[in-house]
């Protein structure tokens, strides 16, 4: 399994919309679900830092994730542009190969709704 982690600092007053867009079943998860190799999305809220969230996107493999990005590039860019005003910053934490057991352990240790540092104007590297 392949895991992609991002950290976001959400603009004050935009938390509700951010959670809507980035939660399972939200706009990003819906886009990812167009691909049968997407294994799910989780959203975590940092309990120590107000307005900070972590997203975890699970994919069958790194190759399937990269193929998705190539195939859905225009839709991805459009959604990125439409949601950019929700955050003050974002940071790619990592892209990790994990076994299924590790992914399960990670999901259990992180509480849903928990999880930024994007420089103003910074774009996610996978968002070309």
CA 19 vs. chain centroid, Å, equals 11
* Structural domain total, the chain: 1
Longest dimension (CA), the chain: 37
Q: Alpha-carbon torsion 117, 76, 45, 13, what sign?
A: positive
Judge whether 67 lies within some domain: yes
Residue 126 inside a domain? The answer is: no
Residue-level pLDDT at 99 = 82
Q: What CATH number should be reported for the domain holding residue 77?
A: 3.30.70.100
Answer yes or no: is 118 within a domain.
Answer: no
Residue 123 lies in a domain: no
Torsion of CA 104, 125, 80, 40, to 10 degrees: -10
- On whether residue 116 sits in a domain, the answer given is no
The sheet that has 2-10: what strands, in order across it?
A: 38-45, 52-59, 2-10, 87-97
- Backbone conformation region of residue 86, classed left if phi is above 0, alpha if psi is from -120 to 50, else beta: alpha
- Smallest CA-to-CA distance from 24 within 113, 106, 110 is with 113
- Specify if 120 maps to a domain: no
Does residue 8 belong to any structural domain of this protein? Answer: yes
User: Would you say residue 79 lies in a domain?
Assistant: yes
Asked if 67 contacts 2 with a C-beta cutoff of 8 angstroms, the reply is no
Tens digit of each residue's pLDDT, the chain (128 residues) = 999 999 999 999 999 999 999 999 999 999 999 999 999 999 999 999 999 999 999 999 999 999 999 999 999 999 999 999 999 999 999 999 988 766 665 655 554 444 433 333 334 445 44
Domain that holds residue 61: 2-109
């Amino acid at each position: 399994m392949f895991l992609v982690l991002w950290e976001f600092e959400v603009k004050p007053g935009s938390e509700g919309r951010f959670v809507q867009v980035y939660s399972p079943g939200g706009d990003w998860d819906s886009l990812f679900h167009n691909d049968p190799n997407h294994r799910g999305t989780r959203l975590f809220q940092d309990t120590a830092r107000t307005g900070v969230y972590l997203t975890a996107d699970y994919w069958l493999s790194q190759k399937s994730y990269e193929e998705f990005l190539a195939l859905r590039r225009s839709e991805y860019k459009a959604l990125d542009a439409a949601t950019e005003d929700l955050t003050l910053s974002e940071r790619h934490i990592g892209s990790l190969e994990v076994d299924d057991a590790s992914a399960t352990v990670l999901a259990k240790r992180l509480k849903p709704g928990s999880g930024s540092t994007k420089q103003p104007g910074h774009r996610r590297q996978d968002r070309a």
